[in-house]
Amino acid sequence: MSGSTVAAGRSAAPDRLPGSRPRSGRGGPGGPAPRRRGRRENLAGLLFMSPWIAGFLLLTAGPMIASLYFAFTDYNLFDAPRWIGLDNFTEMFADARWRHSVSVTLWYVVIGTPLKLAAALGVALLLSRKRRGQAFYRAAFYAPSLIGASVSIAIVWKAIFSDDAVVDRAQRLFGLPGGGWVGDPDMIVYSLVALTVWQFGAPMVIFLAGLKQVPVSLYEAAEVDGAGPLRRFWNITLPMISPVLFFNVLLETIHSFQIFGSAYILGGAGGTCGPADGTLVYTCYLYIQGFENSRMGMASAMAWMLLLAVGLVTAVLFRSQKRWVHYEEAAR
Amino acid sequence: MTTPRTPLTPSAVASPSRPPRPDPAAAVRAARRRGAGSLAWHLGSLAVLAVVLYPVIWVIGGSFKPNDEIVGSLELFPTAPIVENFTRLADGIADIPVTTFFLNSTVLALGSVVGVLFSCSLAAYAFARIRFAGRDLLFTLMIGTLLLPYHVLLIPQYVLFQRLELVNTYAPLLLGKYLATEAFFVFLMMQFIRNLPKELDEAARLDGCGHARIYWSIVLPLCRPALITSAIFTFINAWNDFMGPLIYLNEPDKYTVSLALKMFVDQDGVANYGGMIAMSLIALLPVLLFFLAFQRYLIDGMATSGLKG
Amino acid sequence: MPRTGSVDRRGVLRLAGGSLAAFGLTAAGCGAGGGSGDGSVTIRYAWWGSDDRAKRINETIALFEEKYPKIKVKTDFQPYLDFWKKFNTQASGGNPPDVFQNAIGFLRKYDEKNVLLDLGAQVEAGHLGMDGFRAGLEKFGEVDGKLLGVPVGSNSMALVIDENVFRKAGITPKPGWTWDDFDAAMVRIRDTQGRAGDSGMYGVMYLYDLYLRQHGKAFFTAKGLGFTEADLKEWWTKAYAGVRSGVYADPRKVAQIRPKSALAAELAGCEFTWDNFAVRYTSEGRSGYGLAPIPTTDGKRTGQYLGSLMLSGSKRTEHPKEVAQFIDFMVHDPEVAKIMGYDRGVPTTTAQYEAFEPTDEVNRDIAAYEDQLVASGVLEEITPHPSGADVAESAFLRLAEELALGKRSVDDAVRQFFSESKTALGR
C-alpha cells in the first residue's frame, strides 16, 4: 500500500493538502496562541508522534541512509563497502538489461494502470447502487485481490494464457492470431498486466466510496434536463469523483512502478524474470542484482534512481491536478 | 482531460455523508425502473463476475485434480475428481499440523491489526490536530519512506533485529506495525480526522479536555470506519506477507501459511502441486471471511474519510 | 553527491549506524543457538527441499537426538531459491545456520566470504570420520586443502528418457554412444513420435561442462571460465538450428508449463539432468522414465564426475564439535540411509550405500546407473567452481533461452555471456 505518497510531489505539509478544510477563522487552534500553549502543543505532538519517531529512527532512517551510501559503493554484503563514486550509475546507464527493465516497467505502468483503474471504475459503477446481494457481489469482485502472489497463481495464470487455453481460444474465435502469452517473451508482460488488472479490488473500493459521495439529486436534475447516461457520467460522475480518481491514479502509478511479487512468481527463476526477461520489471532486476548477484551497491543505486523517477512522476501528477481535479474549495 | 464545468451545489458536495433529500417523484420513477433493470443488472454483473472469478474457479477445480493433471492442463474441471489433495493435508506438512500455520498467521495478522490501529491513529491525530514544531518536516519524511523499494532496506533491518536478538521471533514482523511505520494508514486516518468537524474538539477543549481525552473520547470513536478500513488492509497484507516471515523465522513450527505454501514444490524433489493448490484455497478462506465480515464498514470508512487526494 | 574523502564517508556510515547506536546496541555476539544449564546445546540445521524431504529429515534427526541426547537440532527449510536468498541474508548479517546443505557452486563463494567452517580440525579431533566414502567422494568438498563440505549423496548428470517414446522410436542408447548417434535419435523422435527429441540441452551448464571435458576442457577453472567464445559459438549454433528444426522442444511451450518439466509434459522425449531428479518425472508425468548414458565424442569418454550435495558448517558456529558429530552421523549411520533413500542422491559412504536397498524401479535405476559409472571407470575429478559460478550458471541458462526464443543472435548471446561472466567471476 502506498497511498500516502499522495503529497510527495509538493511541499507536503498536512495543512497545505488539497481537500483540507480552510482554516477556521474563529480563533480555533489555527489562530495566534500564547507561547505557553505552543510549548504544550509541542509536547503533545512529541508524545503522540513518539511511536512514529521511534519507528522512523530505529527501522527506517538508518537503513535508508545506509542504502544511499551503498549506492556509491561496491558492496557484496560480506566485505566492507568500497567507495566507487558514480561507477554504479554509469554502469547502470550503459547496461542494456537495465534499459530493458526500464522499458518493461514503463510499458507495464502505461498499459496496466489505466486498464486496472478502468476495470475498477467500471465494476464500481456497476455496484454503486444499492441492490439485493450487494455484499456478495462486492466480496466476489474483491476476492481476487485477497490472493497473495503464490506459485498456485502462477500455475493458474499459465493455464489461462498458454496457447490453446481459454484466452487463446477466444482470440482465435475473434480471428486474432493466437499463440499464448506466457511462453512469448514479447507477450508475457500482457499476462502480467492481466494479473494486475484482475486484482482491482482496492481501487474499486475507493471508487465506490467516491461514487457514494455523489448526491443523487444531481443526477435527477440532469435527467430532468434530458441528459443521457453517458452525458450524466461525463458531466456529473467524473468531475464529482475526480479527487478520488486522482488519488487512485497516483496510488496505482506508484504501486505499479514498484511491482515485484506478481512479476517474480509469474516469470521468476534463478537470475531471470520471465522467458527472455519478458517480465523483468525494475524491482525484479534490482532484486536479482542485490540478492542473486550479491551486488547490493548496484541494487541500492537502482533503488535511488527509482525513488527519483517515482518522485518526479508524483510531482508531475500533482501539477496536473489543477487542470482536472475538482476540490470542494474550488467550487466555492 | 478537459474540465467539464458542472453545477456543483456547495451544500451537496460539502457534506457527502449526509443522505440526499428525499424526492417523492424520483422515488416513484426509480421504483418503476428497478423492476426491469434489476434482472438486467444481475445478469450483467454475473457475466462480469464469471470472467473475474474464472481463475478462482480454476483453482477450485484444480484442487480436485490428481497431481499429474494440474500443471499444463487446460481444463477447468478434473476428469475424475479426487479429494486426496485435501485429506492429505490432515497429515500435516513437514510433520507440522496445518492448523499450526493458520494459528501463526492469525496471531501475526491480528497482532499487526492491533499495532497499526494503535500507533497509526496516534500519529494521524498528531498530524491532523496538533500544531507542533517540525510537523511539516516529519510529514515529508514519512512520505519519503514510501518511495524506496523495500529490498534495499531488508539487509540493514535484518542486521538490526539480529543484534537485538529478535530473529526467530515475531517481533521483527510486528514491531514496525506498533511504531507506525505503515505510512499509508497514518495518511488514511489523518485525512479522515481532518474532515471531522473541528467544533467538537474545540468544545471539548473549552471544557478543559487535553489532547489525550479528545483523541480517546471524541476522535477515535468517530473514525471507527477508517480504523476498520485500515484493519482489513492490514490483515490481508500481513496474511499474505512472504518476505518478512521467510527472512526472520527459522523454525517450521513458527512458519506462516504463506511460507507453508512453498513447502510443496522444490526443484529437486517430488512436487505435490495438488496439495499446494488445495492449501492455497484453504488459505483464502480466513481473509475472505474477514473481508465479508467487515466489507460494509470498508466502504463506509472510505466514504466518510473524504479521500480528496 | 560529489566524491569526498574518507572522513565524510565514515561520517555517513556513522550516521547510518546512528539509529543502532542511539539505542545502545553493540556489535557483539552473533552466534546462533546456545548452551543451557544442563550442558546440552542446540544447533540450527538449514536445508532446501520440500515437505517430503522434511519428513525424512525429521526422522533422521530424531535418531540423532536419541544417540546424542545433549545435542538438540532445530531445522529450517525452504525451496532452493528461497533457501539461498535467506541464507545469504542471514550469513551477511552474521547469523547463518550452524550446519546447512550446500552445493559445489557455492563452496568458493562462501569460503571467500569467510562463512564456511574448515572441518579438517574436527576430523583430526576424531569427531568426524572421512573414511569409507565411495569413489573418492571424500575429496569432493575440499578447497585449497580445507574441508568445507562433506558429501551426503552423490549424483551424476544423466539423460532421463521417456521409455515409451524411445521404445516406440526404436532407440536404445548404449554406453559410449556418440553425439552423432544422439542427434540422429533426436531427429527420429521428432519425425516419428510427434514431439521434440530433447527439451533444451543447450542451456544446461552441467551438460555443456561434460561436453567440454570430452574435449579436454571444462566449464570452470578454479579462477574463471575454461572455454573460449569460439567453443560456445559452436555449441549454441547447433542449438539454434535444433530449435528451428524442432529437434529441441519449442522454448515457448517449455516456458509456459514451468514449473513442470518439458519431459513430463510430453513436449520432448528426453532431458539432461541429475540422475537423482528422475524420481520427480515419475511423480509429474504419466509415462515410464529411465536413465540413459551421456553421449560421447570419442565413443568412450563421457566427462562425467560424481557430484554431490554436501553438509557444511558455519565458521561462526559456537559448537563446531557438535556440528561435526551431526555431519558424521548423517553420512555414516546406516539407519539414516534407510530413511533418506536416494532423496538427496545415492549415499556417499559404503556403509550407507549398502544399508539401503531400493525397492522401486526408479531408484533401482539410479543405483544401477551410478554403479555402472563407477565400474566403467569414466569418472573424472571436479575442481570446485570459482566464486560467482552460480551467477554465471544462471546467465548461461537465461541467455540460452533468449537465443532459442529468437531474442538474440548466437554472436550476441555469446558476447553477452562472456561479458556477464566476467563481471560475476571477476569480483
Mean pLDDT across the stretch C249-267?
A: 89
Query: Is-cis flag, bond preceding C259, omega within 30?
Result: yes
**Taking CB atoms and an 8 Å cut-off, how many pairs form between chains B and C?**
122
- At C147 the three-state DSSP class reads strand
pLDDT of residue A173: 84
pLDDT of residue C36: 55
The torsion defined by the Cα of B212, B217, B221 and B226, in degrees rounded to 10, comes to: -10
Is C257's CB within 8 Å of A158's CB?
A: yes
Q: What nine digits make up the cell of A323?
A: 487542470
Which residues in A lie closer than 8 A to residue B299 (C-beta atoms)?
Answer: 138, 205, 208-209, 212
pLDDT of residue B190: 82
Asked if residue C18 has pLDDT above 60, the reply is no
pLDDT of residue B306: 46
How many of the other CB atoms lie within 10 Å of CB of B31? Answer: 9
Who wins on pLDDT, C190 or A266?
C190
Which residues in A lie closer than 8 A to residue B181 (C-beta atoms)?
Answer: 52, 55-56, 59-60
β-pairing, C289-292 vs C150-155, is unpaired
Is B162's CB within 8 Å of C86's CB?
A: no
Asked if residue C391 has pLDDT above 70, the reply is yes
Is C55's CB within 8 Å of B167's CB?
A: no
Asked if residue A66 has pLDDT above 70, the reply is yes
Who wins on pLDDT, A31 or B52?
B52
Q: Is C148 exposed, middle or buried (0-12, 13-18, 19+ CB in 10 A)?
A: buried
Cα separation, B125 vs B194, whole angstroms: 9
Is B143's CB within 8 Å of A8's CB?
A: yes
The beta-carbon contacts of C55-63 under 8 Å, at least 24 apart in sequence, are C55/B94, C55/B95, C56/C339, C56/C340, C56/C341, C56/C343, C57/C340, C58/B94, C58/B95, C59/C339, C60/C330, C60/C333, C60/C335, C60/C336, C60/C339, C60/C340, C63/C329, C63/C333, C63/C335, C63/C336, C63/C339
pLDDT of residue B207: 86
pLDDT of residue C336: 95
β-pairing, C150-155 vs C196-198, is unpaired
Residue B245 banded pLDDT, cuts 50, 70, 90: very high
Of B68, B154, B251, the CB nearest to C89: B154
Name residue C102's beta-bridge partners.
C310
Asked if residue A4 has pLDDT above 50, the reply is no
Residue C257 banded pLDDT, cuts 50, 70, 90: confident
Residue C4 banded pLDDT, cuts 50, 70, 90: very low
Is B52's CB within 8 Å of A144's CB?
A: yes
pLDDT above 70 covers what percent of chain A?
86
pLDDT of residue B103: 96
pTM of the model as a whole: 0.85
Who wins on pLDDT, C285 or A7?
C285
CATH T-level topology, domain C41-153+310-361: D-Maltodextrin-Binding Protein; domain 2 (3.40.190)
pLDDT of residue B300: 59
Give the residue among B100, B186, B195, C91 at the shortest CA–CA distance from A209. B195
Cα separation, A147 vs B152, whole angstroms: 25
Cα separation, A11 vs B35, whole angstroms: 52
Is B139's CB within 8 Å of A12's CB?
A: yes
Angle at CA B273, nearest 5°, toward B82 and C200? Answer: 130
The beta-carbon contacts of A308-311 under 8 Å, at least 24 apart in sequence, are A309/A257, A310/A5, A310/A254, A310/A257, A310/A258, A310/B147, A311/A8, A311/A9, A311/B147
pLDDT of residue B19: 42
- Please report the residues numbered 121 through 140 in chain C whose beta carbons come closer than 8 angstroms to any beta carbon of chain B: none
CATH T-level topology, domain C157-305+382-425: D-Maltodextrin-Binding Protein; domain 2 (3.40.190)
Who wins on pLDDT, B226 or B174?
B174
Cα separation, C234 vs C211, whole angstroms: 12
Rg (CA), chain A: 24
User: C343 CA to chain B: closest CA distance, Å?
Assistant: 7
Interface probe with C: pick from B160, B163, B167, most Cβ of C within 10 Å: B163
Residue B33 banded pLDDT, cuts 50, 70, 90: low
Q: Does B273 touch chain A (CB under 8 A)?
A: yes
Q: Does C189 touch chain A (CB under 8 A)?
A: no
Q: Please, where in chain C does CATH 3.40.190.10 lie?
A: 41-153+310-361, 157-305+382-425
Question: At C345, phi and psi to the nearest 5?
Answer: 110, 175
Domain extent listing, chain A: 27-87, 90-331
Residue A26 banded pLDDT, cuts 50, 70, 90: very low
Which residues in B lie closer than 8 A to residue C199 (C-beta atoms)?
Answer: none
Angle at CA C100, nearest 5°, toward C97 and C103? Answer: 135
Mean pLDDT across the stretch B174-178?
A: 95
User: C53 CA to chain A: closest CA distance, Å?
Assistant: 19
Q: Does C253 touch chain B (CB under 8 A)?
A: no
Is A85's CB within 8 Å of C395's CB?
A: no
Mean pLDDT across the stretch C47-71?
A: 93
User: C85 CA to chain A: closest CA distance, Å?
Assistant: 6
Of A69, A185, A291, the CB nearest to C13: A69
Interface probe with A: pick from C6, C12, C19, most Cβ of A within 10 Å: C19
Mean pLDDT across the stretch C320-329?
A: 96
Asked if residue B283 has pLDDT above 60, the reply is yes
User: A219 CA to chain B: closest CA distance, Å?
Assistant: 10
Interface probe with A: pick from B101, B113, B146, B194, most Cβ of A within 10 Å: B146
Q: Does B255 touch chain A (CB under 8 A)?
A: no
Mean pLDDT across the stretch A42-69?
A: 92
pLDDT of residue A24: 37
> What are the pLDDT digits (tens) for A225-240?
888 888 888 888 888 8
Mean pLDDT across the stretch C326-346?
A: 94
pLDDT of residue C427: 54
Asked if residue B37 has pLDDT above 90, the reply is no
> What are the pLDDT digits (tens) for A123-140?
999 888 777 888 888 888
Of C27, C74, C283, the CB nearest to B270: C283
Is A151's CB within 8 Å of B239's CB?
A: no
* A28-37, A283-292, C283-292: least confident range: A28-37
Using H for helix, E for strand and C for coil, what is the string for B90-106? HHCECCECHHHHHHHHH
Mean pLDDT across the stretch C169-181?
A: 93
Residue A256 banded pLDDT, cuts 50, 70, 90: very high
User: A150 CA to chain C: closest CA distance, Å?
Assistant: 13
Who wins on pLDDT, C374 or C326?
C326
- What's the CATH superfamily of B93-305? MetI-like (1.10.3720.10)
- DSSP output for C199-261: S-GGG-HHHHHHHHHHTT--SB-SSSB-S-HHHHHHHHHHHHHHHHHTSBPPHHHHHHHTTS-
The beta-carbon contacts of C82-88 under 8 Å, at least 24 apart in sequence, are C82/B246, C82/B262, C82/C48, C83/C46, C83/C47, C83/C48, C84/C48, C84/C390, C85/A291, C85/B246, C86/B246, C86/B247, C86/C46, C87/C46, C88/A77, C88/A291, C88/A294
Who wins on pLDDT, B304 or B224?
B224
User: A270 CA to chain B: closest CA distance, Å?
Assistant: 11
Is C398's CB within 8 Å of A162's CB?
A: no
pLDDT of residue C30: 36
Query: Would you say how long chain B is, in residues?
Result: 309
Interface probe with A: pick from C7, C252, C408, C421, most Cβ of A within 10 Å: C252
**Taking CB atoms and an 8 Å cut-off, how many pairs form between chains A and C?**
107
Q: What is the mean pLDDT of chain A?
A: 82
Is C48's CB within 8 Å of B266's CB?
A: yes
pLDDT of residue C6: 38
pLDDT of residue C1: 34
Q: Is B85 exposed, middle or buried (0-12, 13-18, 19+ CB in 10 A)?
A: buried
* A137-151, A189-203, B290-304: least confident range: B290-304
> What are the pLDDT digits (tens) for A68-115?
999 999 998 888 999 999 999 999 999 999 999 999 999 999 999 999
Q: Which residue has the cell 547447433?
A: C238
Asked if residue A1 has pLDDT above 60, the reply is no
Query: What is the ipTM for the molecules in this complex?
Result: 0.85
> What are the pLDDT digits (tens) for B194-238?
767 778 878 888 888 889 999 998 888 888 777 887 888 899 899
What do you get for the CA distance between the two ends of chain B, in Å?
17
Rg (CA), chain C: 23
Mean pLDDT across the stretch C300-311?
A: 90
Is A42's CB within 8 Å of B133's CB?
A: yes
Of A63, A69, A162, the CB nearest to C256: A162
Closest-CA residue of chain B to A321: B309
Who wins on pLDDT, A226 or A44?
A44
How many of the other CB atoms lie within 10 Å of CB of B115? Answer: 22
Query: Would you say how long chain A is, in residues?
Result: 332
> What are the pLDDT digits (tens) for A194-247?
999 999 988 888 788 778 767 778 888 888 888 888 888 888 888 888 877 887
Cα separation, C115 vs A255, whole angstroms: 37
Amino acid at position C96, single letter: P
pLDDT of residue C317: 95
Second-level CATH architecture of A90-331? Orthogonal Bundle (1.10)
Residue B30 banded pLDDT, cuts 50, 70, 90: low
User: C202 CA to chain B: closest CA distance, Å?
Assistant: 19
Closest-CA residue of chain B to A136: B292
Residue C31 banded pLDDT, cuts 50, 70, 90: very low
User: B251 CA to chain A: closest CA distance, Å?
Assistant: 21
Question: At A71, phi and psi to the nearest 5?
Answer: -60, -25
pLDDT of residue C260: 85
User: C378 CA to chain A: closest CA distance, Å?
Assistant: 31
Asked if residue C187 has pLDDT above 90, the reply is yes
pLDDT of residue B221: 85
**Among A171-175, B164-168, C280-284, C319-323, the range of highest mean pLDDT:** C319-323
Interface probe with C: pick from A294, A298, A304, most Cβ of C within 10 Å: A294
Closest-CA residue of chain B to A232: B6
pLDDT of residue C277: 86
Is C405's CB within 8 Å of A276's CB?
A: yes
